């Protein structure tokens, strides 16, 4: 995405759809005018930093990343500045805001929208979002919405000719017209960028293969989480059985094997499968033991000789040992 005003064949300029300025400085092939060059057409720009115009960021649809680019080559193409594709060309995609006139994306190592790096940095700072492919997608959507609502407002710029009219723009607006939005004096460009600051994220388009891969990754993550939860439960069960503690689980894991069911102290049902209920037999037995213990407290402890037994009102048994029974005397 960027703007173009090509008329006929030959070279032509493309323009940043955020600020309407070209992607190159008028002083790229020559030195800026000095204080002694008062007759120069661009004399008033001698103290204005213009290099930011040729510092470009491409939003690449092929890799879904952003690419650092050099200024355009006057054919709607940008040399890639860094990375493994350095020196290759980045092509512009046609859209509502762009009539780029470039070839198909198969001819390029990068293909999509292009913006001034400083314009993107300003929007990133204002939106509080990092500079990445998704931010580029959201900015494009804001621009598309704006152009649809105002089809003539932004594109009808008298300075956007086949070659940008720097002199006319300077005479009409002064040097501040070309100041980077990151500079204190860059109020003009900032006023344009404020229309395109995205707030919410726009879902970036997914290819069918990528969508399937995303679902597969999500399914694996869910499966891994389930396995982890089961492992944690098993660890707790093992830990509880090792310490002699009982696990709060009224159900048995087995529904098919009677041996496992009974081993887990469950009840094997009449339908020839596990009833998932714990057996209460052990609890009843332990209760009866506690009752018998309480009764045996009436009895005396086992005495070692007959004298001690009789002395404590016990009965010395026929087997020549304490019967642990008290002698009860009838009272008149």
Per-residue pLDDT tens for 302-312? 677 788 777 78
Residue position matching structure tokens 């007759």: 39
pLDDT value for 235: 78
Identify the domain containing residue 329 by its residue range: 299-332
Domain boundary residue among 177, 208, 239?
208
> For the whole model, what pTM was predicted?
0.58
In terms of domains, do 86 and 115 share one?
A: yes
Q: Strands 3-4 and 14-15: what pairing?
A: antiparallel
Can you give the length of the chain in residues? 332
In terms of domains, do 7 and 103 share one?
A: yes
In terms of domains, do 272 and 323 share one?
A: no
Q: Is residue 231 part of a domain?
A: no
Work out the angle at residue 165's Cα, subtended by the Cα atoms of residues 161 and 170, and round it to the nearest 5 degrees.
Answer: 145
Q: Read off the DSSP letter of residue 330.
A: P
pLDDT higher than 90, residue 102? no
Q: Read off the DSSP letter of residue 175.
A: G
**3-class SS of residue 1:** coil
Q: Is residue 94 part of a domain?
A: yes
Q: Is residue 234 part of a domain?
A: no
In terms of domains, do 25 and 116 share one?
A: yes
Q: Is residue 218 part of a domain?
A: no
Give yes or no for a contact between 198 and 128, defined as CB atoms under 8 angstroms apart: no
Q: Strands 89-92 and 322-326: what pairing?
A: unpaired
CA dihedral of 308, 309, 314, 316, whole degrees rounded to 10: -150
In terms of domains, do 26 and 146 share one?
A: yes
In terms of domains, do 116 and 151 share one?
A: yes
Domain boundary residue among 208, 241, 273?
208
Q: Is residue 237 part of a domain?
A: no
* Cross-strand partners of 112: 60, 92
Distance CA 83, CA 58 (A): 13
Q: 126: closest CA among 57, 196, 184, 188?
A: 196
In terms of domains, do 257 and 318 share one?
A: no
In terms of domains, do 17 and 92 share one?
A: yes
In terms of domains, do 78 and 183 share one?
A: yes
At residue 116, φ and ψ (nearest 5 deg) are -65, 140
Q: 302: closest CA among 318, 323, 328?
A: 323
In terms of domains, do 174 and 81 share one?
A: yes
In terms of domains, do 171 and 316 share one?
A: no
Q: Is residue 239 part of a domain?
A: no
pLDDT value for 10: 58
pLDDT value for 230: 76
Q: Is residue 61 part of a domain?
A: yes
Range with the lowest mean pLDDT among 144-158, 189-203, 248-262, 306-320? 248-262
Residues 6+ apart with CB under 8 A from 22: 13, 14, 15, 16, 53, 72, 164
Number of domains forming the structure of the chain: 3
In terms of domains, do 143 and 72 share one?
A: yes
Domain boundary residue among 185, 208, 231?
208
pLDDT higher than 90, residue 151? no
**Count of CA atoms in the C-beta half-sphere (13 A) of 245:** 9
Q: Is residue 293 part of a domain?
A: yes
Percentage, residues of the chain above pLDDT 70: 71
pLDDT tens sequence across 230-264: 787 777 767 666 555 444 444 455 556 777 777 77
């Amino acid at each position: 995405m960027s703007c173009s005003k090509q008329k006929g064949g030959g070279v032509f300029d493309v323009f940043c759809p955020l600020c309407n300025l070209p992607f190159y400085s008028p002083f790229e092939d020559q030195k800026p005018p000095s204080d002694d060059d008062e007759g120069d057409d661009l004399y008033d720009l001698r103290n204005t930093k213009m290099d930011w115009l040729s510092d470009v960021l491409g939003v690449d649809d092929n890799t879904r990343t952003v690419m650092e680019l050099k200024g355009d080559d006057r054919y709607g193409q940008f040399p890639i500045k860094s990375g493994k594709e350095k020196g290759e060309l980045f092509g512009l995609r046609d859209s509502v805001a762009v009539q780029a006139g470039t070839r198909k994306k198969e001819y390029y190592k990068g293909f999509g929208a292009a913006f001034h790096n400083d314009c993107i940095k300003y929007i990133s700072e204002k939106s509080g979002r990092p500079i990445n492919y998704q931010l580029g997608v959201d900015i494009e959507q804001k621009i598309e919405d704006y152009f649809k609502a105002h089809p003539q407002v932004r594109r009808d710029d008298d300075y956007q000719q086949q070659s940008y009219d720097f002199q006319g723009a300077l005479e009409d607006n002064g040097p501040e017209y070309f100041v980077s939005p990151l500079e204190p004096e860059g109020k003009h460009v900032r006023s344009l960028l404020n229309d395109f600051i995205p707030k919410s994220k726009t879902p970036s388009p997914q290819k069918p293969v990528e969508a399937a891969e995303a679902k597969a990754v999500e399914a694996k993550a869910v499966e891994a989480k389930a396995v982890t939860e089961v492992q944690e439960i098993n660890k707790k069960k093992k830990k509880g059985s090792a310490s002699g503690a009982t696990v709060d689980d009224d159900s048995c894991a087995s529904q098919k094997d009677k041996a496992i069911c009974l081993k887990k102290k469950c009840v094997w049902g009449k339908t020839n499968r596990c009833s998932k209920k714990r057996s209460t037999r052990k609890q009843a037995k332990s209760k009866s033991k506690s009752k018998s213990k309480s009764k045996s407290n009436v009895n005396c402890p086992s005495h070692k000789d007959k004298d001690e037994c009789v002395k404590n009102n016990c009965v010395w048994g026929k087997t020549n040992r304490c019967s642990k029974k008290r002698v009860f005397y009838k009272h008149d």
